[in-house]
Structure 1
Amino acid sequence: MNVLKNAASAAALAYCLLSAPVHAQVAPSTAANEADGTVPEIVVTAQLRRESAQTVPIAVTAVTGDSLTRAGVASLQDLAAAVPGVVVSKSVSYGLAPIAIRGLGGPAGGGSLFTDQPVAVYVDGVYVPALAQSVSNFLDVDTMQVLRGPQGTLYGRNSTAGAILLGSKRPDLSQVGGTVSASYASFAAAAISGVLNLPLIADRLGLRLAVGHDSGGNWARNASDSRRFGGGENTTMRGTLRWQDDGGATIDLIVDHSNGTANPATLSLATVSPAPRGPTLGTVYVGNPYLRRADLATVVDNRMVEISGDQQTRTRATDFTLIAEVPLGGVTLTAISGYRNFRVSGTQDVSPAPTPAAITNTNNTVQQQKSFSQELRLGSNSTGPAKWILGAYYFHQETDAFINIINVQGGPPVATGFGATGPIFAGRPAGTTALFDAAQTVNSYALFADATYQLGDRLAVTGGIRYSRDEKAATIANTVRTITNSVLAGPILLNASCPSATTSCRGTYENVSPRAVVTFQATPRNMVYGSFSKGFNSGGFNNFGNVLNPSDPTNPLENGSERITNYEIGTKNEFFGRKLKLNIAAFQTEYRDLHIRQAVLTGGVAIVNVPKARVRGVEVETLLYPLDGLSLALNGSYLDGTIREGTLAALPSNAGTIVLGQNQTVVSQNVAGNRLSRAPRWQGSATLSYAVPTGFGTITPSVSWRGQTSVWFLETNQDNGQYRAAGWSEVDLRVALAGEDNKWELAAFGRNVFDRRYISQIVPFTGFPVATFNTPATWGLNGKINF
């Protein structure tokens, strides 16, 4: 097969060239392994049973919570280029930080509220539907597992690009203990957290409490006033109660709550200037959206933004998880119940105007997502040649969203007078206020089965299948009114809703996703696998969809289901007495009716299908212990993500100077051959760490590098580069001093120490690009006490 031949060639090239691919501080390691200099054994649940990561025929990166802490990884947003094939963008608005795996994932902004993300995040086995919540801060994490590629059988909740599994630490039923940690860094970034473990009934009942608070980090200066952006404040609390009986049955009740505010630092990439248009229209703002501002480098180096209106995001979440595992002879019954209640509100100023900025575009929102899920699994626990799992899954979600997009130059010129619905204003260019009031209910059902059979000592075969059914019902009401700069309501320009006499806004989407794997265990430490799998992301409705013209190709009311076929070969190895780990995966994924997150010029995001796309590549992970205490992690990926067939709506590249906010004519653009967004061709990281024993403890200096080549943020208009970000790299440093008994640790760290600045995300608002950037160089101290 050509894909495997090409992948094998790319694998060899990748291994030679990527002598630097996971945030070495993110490299899995433990104190024990640092002492004896061997590759650590990490247990994963990628196949819904506990197995060594090196024996699982899936491309999975597993990291311990302690490793994440050492790396300074506080949320998924800190994983950019740290895990092969994973791209994470900084939030542009409302906490929405898109996650992409192997070139797929994440919206072009915060609008696709009714469609699940291709990268599914699970916390303690419960699916997290809200993108803003899935990238919230970590607290008392036990493990993080990143599963790359479609996970349509075992993790079938639209996990078409991959899945991220986060597990929190459980109570220790035998002894009292805990941790207190604190850090302080540049830009007044402070964080403190504490964990208390309490056995309530010895070996029977235990409680674990964790709380964390962080604030500061506002690194960007506003050009027109004293406000600062780029940071925020967040408080997270979690309580876990575990009960265990003599037969090995356990019940975990997990309750967590969080409150947060964020101040996104955004910057226009185009120059917009005031232009007098006579006494009737007054002054309007004009610019070329595809001409990058000449002073961009200076503004970025000076850490400046230009925000005139309000810009803040507020989030609140309360979650309940109940997990029961009950051994029943040769099988184990697992039940996972989850309830999540997430609310986000805020205001964003998206006025790409010069300094001092003028308020021309803004939006505000209130969104709430409530979900309940129930999963039941019956799995074998015998030591025989067969291992199997049967399961059933139910998911219910209710989404309510109110979004108001204000555009003070969006309407046509108006004359003096008084209309039937209110005053008609003159003397200023007319604007619009677009109100989107939308709600959706989802009921999802699934049945799945997966089994592995050992054919002798070396060969094993795995087969799995999942049936999924999603039922969706949406209500969408759109109202557009004329306004003036004083935001007074004038005539109604649009008033439409769905359901209507001609459109029901109800849909049912079904799919069967199979999986087949062959594994050959050449030696106890060397294995090769080949897999074939399918997945799907159900169709649905666009909350910004065109209710007047549901078949509008630029903003359809409904989108079809996305279907995926994935081929993969891989090898996992440990050599030289477990001094070296070398894992390689090569893959090709074919997408049918791929979901593209396309920005709508009037505001919001539409999910649009393109008929064909292909993603293929190679991922390499290595970990080497050449000497006791010395570790070197080298990981990376090569990726080719291309649209093979399709058209998308685009503002013409030769649009020239246009009036900001006024309606523009879009064209249908053939995007066959264009690269997918957030899909760097090369990506990698490297970490070198050396633990040096002393008479009073251990000193561990470490240095890590990570970087990637250029990426696109739109699949259209790739002939001018305005929506392209250059490649980047960062270097981090850390020196830690830990006590002999590991009861305390003090560390000094520097992140992005060479102050490399680069674009993290670009999103079009009313046709003009708005960007976020990475955090500047940061230096700080961290201390931790274990008791």
Structure 2
Amino acid sequence: MKKLILLTASCASIVAAMPAWAQESAEDETGGVQDIVVTATRQATNLQDTPIAITAVTSDTLEERGLKSTADLSQAVPNATFRRVQGAFGPGVSAFIRGIGQADTSLGSEPSVAYYVDDVYYPLLLGSNFDLLDLDHIEVLRGPQGTLFGRNSLAGAVNIVSKAPSLTEASAYVQATMGSYNRIDIRAGFNVPLTPNLGLSVSGVSKKRDGYQRMLDFRCDMERKGTSALSGRLPYSSAINTSANNFKADDCTVGRLGGEDVRAIRGSLRWEPVDNVSLTLIGDYTRDRSENPADKLLVVTGPGGANLQTQANYFGVTYDSRFVTGDPFTTYASYTDPVGAGVVIPLTTTGGESFWNGRANRGGASFSPVTRLDNWGVSAKLVVGLTDDIDLTAIAGYRKMTEDHAFDIDGSPLTLEHTLLNIGESYKNIEIRLSGKSDLIDWVAGGFYFEGDGFTHAITYSPQSAFFKIQNIKYTPLSKAVFANVTIKPLDGLGIVAGGRYSDDEKDVDFSNVLDTNPILDLTKGDTAFKIKPAATRFDWKLGVNYAFSNDLMVYASASTGARLPGYNTRPQQPSQVVSFGSDETLAYELGIKADLFDRKLRLNLAGFYTDYKSRYTNTTGAEINMIAGAARPGTCVIVPLPAGGPGATTCRTTPYNAATDGAQNPAAGIGVLSIPRTYFINTPGKVKGFEIEMEARPIDGLAINAAVGFAKFDSPDLKLPTRANDRLAGLPEWNGTIGIQYMLDAPQLGGTVTPRLDWFYTGDIKPSAARNTYNQPAYSLFNSRLTYHHEEHDVSVALGVTNLFDKRYYYNFFIYQDIGFPNVNGQPGTPRQWFVELSKKF
């Protein structure tokens, strides 16, 4: 962390050596930091005149830093964590701002960061890894943004703004990238003014890259290493690897994880029939067939339950470290049950519930580690200038998303638990706003309507918990809101902000999760079915004041509220686990400074915040007695109470039940019963405090420096429970930061410029588990480099780049499955060093 602070201070010191302080109004802005127009207040304003903590990233900045999707935003935004989620959660992006967020992509879980794409609300984390195609800029607003962005903007909002078609100039571009792991990316687009008041733009992208993690055939790899005895009777993952006296495979790779295969297209039509009317129609489609993220079995923490041991015995192996490859970029995951379909494995002498009972769908199950996502949408935005100072804006959008994904929970050739999901949602939303500006007051008022229709169809194939369950869920969310925001300017430079939003939200849920052994729904035999309607009506508000000492220096302070909608346990495995919980609610205070200094050679934005997390529903994991197990089915669990008082919580031992040492079976005491994982929800209010510093400098022509650092400290009574090993939020760093520097050199002999660039990204240490410190992720630094040649006359650029320049080994996250009763710990390894060559041409 000292390096982060020292480097930030060093960059500031370099800039501070410049000779003159900022004038009140810089007349010559050549070579200085440029203005960015944002719409965070639902009106077009200069970033530096907007009294909100915003990181605005332009398309040029994204290009310079090599950021291609929303999952890359952590490398540009302090106090924010955006990353592709672990494979169990499908093709989504976890989103956290200032320590608040959500990683679960289930339709039943509400996010804490609201996405808006060209003013249209996107309600899901699933499918939110948007390619930044034909983008003008991205605005990341710290939360809460409960008044103007509303629904689920508890942590903040991400506002993605595309380029509008030009009505006066035709243009086009094409960009091709080749790189490591057979990477081939093609991006292209064009803009055509069809008439003096009608313009069309179309853009598309194709991205293809092999995965950086290899899936290995376990038996083949053991034979290749000369340790074939360790494979027991486990079959080959691929018959082509079958060895003989004249053949032994030298590469046991049967698949890959972490690859990318995405196609997307976007079209926009802009019509301005008269000066005061503008209509923009947008359509887009994304097809994603990417591999699951890389996932690695890191540690086997015990032999697992009776079924896992029975399965291991069947193949003459032990569930132990033989399934840990030792290389972060290889895995023995097979996504296949090696037990054949219809096979019966009888109960063993150690007891246990037999999963393989001869049923046709027990055994032989094989799932694909490739995502199948289709996401398309259309929208319309109408802006009418009613007067010179008052505008009417109407926005309507429709989107449909469907996706399939599967997951192997442990990454071994045995079957601990597999999941297969088919998820979809269609929705429509409408927003109407009136806005106006005058010397005394700026104001906006409007209404919002959102309606969705979603479904989840899933299979949980779980030998560990001794069941095969089929889940069907239907969701119909409905949201209505009205809002208003005013900025009163009684004195020159002074602004007083007040805003409010009344919202009414509900979500009808029809849930069923049934065992394959029950011919009809039977809640007494392990099936789960219920209908529920999480709902909330609330009023959110904001008050603020800002004062501009000059055109280049503003201070502001604000207080605001926000909320995340109520929810329920999205993965109950039996009726005792059906539970709902209320809304998360916050009250946040923010104090900030925005300054353009040294004749606009330096931009410095600082913000400090304190968030009172008044209502915070968190989950506590454990296990409980399987209600269908009965007293005659011994297992490995003993009941212990949760610190927060969750009834029926259990803790699982690592050895099977033994009547001689454990005594008689006693379900009431948790002795000699089968257990299954479960989640309890408790309200654990907290406080978050921290700061962000963002700096951009252009001290001399051609030189550009950017730096940012963020710190967020979470404090909650929940973090001080005796059972917690960490007084930190699980999965999040307290510190993150970035520094980048580039210098554009004139190269007249080459007919253009040469620009080298270096970026450094810092992520503080991460505590992935609240219950243990064994698998913490140390802080790490990543470096990216890029060298770009641009030919001025032909507007052609060639770039050579390297990401993770020093080939740092790190993990995006760890999944401590032992916290929920499984005998394993997995990790999602970060990408190794990769190179690329990029050729682009503008017309």
TM-score (norm 1): 0.83
Instruction: Name which of 91, 96, 101 aligns with 1:95.
Output: 91
**Partner residue of 1:265?**
294
**Partner residue of 1:189?**
183
The residue type paired with residue 265 of structure 1 is A
Deviation at 1:122, TM superposition (A): 0.8
**Partner residue of 2:591?**
569
Instruction: Name which of 521, 541, 547 aligns with 2:568.
Output: 541
Does the CA-based 8 Å contact 1:595-1:607 persist in structure 2?
A: no
Instruction: Name which of 486, 499, 521 aligns with 1:464.
Output: 499
**Partner residue of 1:417?**
none
Instruction: Name which of 520, 526, 529 aligns with 1:497.
Output: 529
**Partner residue of 2:109?**
115
Q: Deviations over 1:142-181 (max 9, x none)?
A: 1111111211110111100011111111111112211111
Write the distance in 2 (CA, Å) between the matches of 1:73 and 1:533.
31
Does the CA-based 8 Å contact 1:103-1:678 persist in structure 2?
A: no
Write the distance in 1 (CA, Å) between the matches of 2:326 and 2:138.
38
Does the CA-based 8 Å contact 1:539-1:560 persist in structure 2?
A: yes
Write the distance in 1 (CA, Å) between the matches of 2:695 and 2:323.
41
Alignment of 1:307-386 (within 5 A): 307-309=333-335, 310-329=368-387, 330-353=389-412, 357-380=413-436, 382-386=437-441
Write the distance in 2 (CA, Å) between the matches of 1:236 and 1:572.
37
Write the distance in 1 (CA, Å) between the matches of 2:327 and 2:308.
34
The residue type paired with residue 693 of structure 2 is V
Write the distance in 1 (CA, Å) between the matches of 2:470 and 2:676.
11
Write the distance in 2 (CA, Å) between the matches of 1:605 and 1:34.
63
**Partner residue of 2:31?**
37
Q: Deviations over 1:430-471 (max 9, x none)?
A: xx1122211111110111000001121121110000111102
Write the distance in 1 (CA, Å) between the matches of 2:309 and 2:704.
70
The residue type paired with residue 674 of structure 1 is D
The residue type paired with residue 518 of structure 1 is V
Alignment partner of 1:737 is 2:731: no
Write the distance in 2 (CA, Å) between the matches of 1:278 and 1:464.
58
Q: Deviations over 1:689-748 (max 9, x none)?
A: 10111211111111010111111234x30x3333x3221110010011112257221111
The residue type paired with residue 797 of structure 2 is E
Write the distance in 2 (CA, Å) between the matches of 1:141 and 1:77.
15
Write the distance in 2 (CA, Å) between the matches of 1:276 and 1:13.
46
Q: Deviations over 1:293-322 (max 9, x none)?
A: 79979412xx21221113221100110111
The residue type paired with residue 531 of structure 1 is S
Write the distance in 2 (CA, Å) between the matches of 1:279 and 1:333.
63
Q: Any idea what SS the aligned residue of 2:333 has?
A: coil
**Judging changes above 3 Å, is the alpha-carbon distance between structure 1 residues 548 and 126 closer, same or farther for their aligned structure 2 residues?**
same
**Partner residue of 2:762?**
707
Alignment partner of 1:749 is 2:801: yes
Q: Deviations over 1:533-586 (max 9, x none)?
A: 00111103333246623xxxxx55211111100001010111110111111100
TM-score (norm 2): 0.78
The residue type paired with residue 577 of structure 1 is D
**Partner residue of 1:629?**
702
Q: Any idea what SS the aligned residue of 1:66 has?
A: helix
Does the CA-based 8 Å contact 2:297-2:324 persist in structure 1?
A: no
**Partner residue of 1:206?**
199
Deviation at 1:99, TM superposition (A): 1.3
Aligned length: 696
Write the distance in 1 (CA, Å) between the matches of 2:110 and 2:398.
17
Alignment partner of 1:510 is 2:566: no
Alignment partner of 1:528 is 2:555: yes
Alignment of 1:102-181 (within 5 A): 102-107=98-103, 109-110=104-105, 112-181=106-175
Does the CA-based 8 Å contact 1:155-1:163 persist in structure 2?
A: yes
Alignment partner of 1:590 is 2:617: no
Alignment of 1:40-119 (within 5 A): 40-93=34-87, 94-107=90-103, 109-110=104-105, 112-119=106-113
Does the CA-based 8 Å contact 1:231-1:262 persist in structure 2?
A: yes
Deviation at 1:359, TM superposition (A): 2.9
Deviation at 1:624, TM superposition (A): 1.5
Instruction: Name which of 729, 738, 742 aligns with 1:689.
Output: 742
Deviation at 1:205, TM superposition (A): 0.8
**Partner residue of 1:759?**
811
**Partner residue of 2:827?**
771
Deviation at 1:121, TM superposition (A): 1.1
Deviation at 1:17, TM superposition (A): 6.8
**Partner residue of 1:642?**
715
Deviation at 1:81, TM superposition (A): 4.0
**Partner residue of 1:677?**
730
Q: Any idea what SS the aligned residue of 1:77 has?
A: helix
Write the distance in 2 (CA, Å) between the matches of 1:748 and 1:584.
34
Does the CA-based 8 Å contact 1:20-1:706 persist in structure 2?
A: no
Alignment of 1:599-678 (within 5 A): 608-645=681-718, 674-678=727-731
The residue type paired with residue 113 of structure 1 is L
**Judging changes above 3 Å, is the alpha-carbon distance between structure 1 residues 446 and 137 closer, same or farther for their aligned structure 2 residues?**
same
The residue type paired with residue 230 of structure 1 is G
Alignment partner of 1:248 is 2:242: no
Deviation at 1:783, TM superposition (A): 1.0
Does the CA-based 8 Å contact 1:183-1:783 persist in structure 2?
A: yes
Q: Deviations over 1:464-500 (max 9, x none)?
A: 00111102211010113469xxxxx99994123113x
Q: Any idea what SS the aligned residue of 1:269 has?
A: strand
Does the CA-based 8 Å contact 1:189-1:216 persist in structure 2?
A: yes
Deviation at 1:612, TM superposition (A): 0.6
Instruction: Name which of 455, 469, 486 aligns with 1:451.
Output: 486
Deviation at 1:182, TM superposition (A): 0.8
**Is the deviation greater in 584-593 or in 90-99?**
90-99
The structure, 1 or 2, with the larger RCO (C-alpha pairs under 8 Å, 6+ apart) is 1
Deviation at 1:407, TM superposition (A): 1.3
Deviation at 1:39, TM superposition (A): 0.9
**Partner residue of 1:652?**
none
Q: Deviations over 1:360-403 (max 9, x none)?
A: 321101000111110000000x3422000001001111110011
Write the distance in 1 (CA, Å) between the matches of 2:262 and 2:3.
43
The residue type paired with residue 813 of structure 2 is Q
Does the CA-based 8 Å contact 1:178-1:194 persist in structure 2?
A: yes
Does the CA-based 8 Å contact 2:29-2:599 persist in structure 1?
A: no
Alignment partner of 1:397 is 2:452: yes
Write the distance in 1 (CA, Å) between the matches of 2:140 and 2:609.
16
Deviation at 1:609, TM superposition (A): 4.2
**Judging changes above 3 Å, is the alpha-carbon distance between structure 1 residues 286 and 249 closer, same or farther for their aligned structure 2 residues?**
farther
Query: Which of the pair has more CA radius of gyration?
Result: 2
Write the distance in 1 (CA, Å) between the matches of 2:28 and 2:133.
25
Alpha-carbon RMSD = 3.1
**Judging changes above 3 Å, is the alpha-carbon distance between structure 1 residues 725 and 84 closer, same or farther for their aligned structure 2 residues?**
same
Does the CA-based 8 Å contact 1:21-1:684 persist in structure 2?
A: no
Q: Deviations over 1:216-263 (max 9, x none)?
A: 141111222331211120000111111012323110110101111121
Write the distance in 2 (CA, Å) between the matches of 1:603 and 1:312.
28
**Judging changes above 3 Å, is the alpha-carbon distance between structure 1 residues 755 and 278 closer, same or farther for their aligned structure 2 residues?**
closer
Deviation at 1:193, TM superposition (A): 1.2
**Partner residue of 2:841?**
785
**Judging changes above 3 Å, is the alpha-carbon distance between structure 1 residues 541 and 175 closer, same or farther for their aligned structure 2 residues?**
same
Write the distance in 2 (CA, Å) between the matches of 1:520 and 1:54.
12
Deviation at 1:58, TM superposition (A): 0.7
Deviation at 1:66, TM superposition (A): 2.4
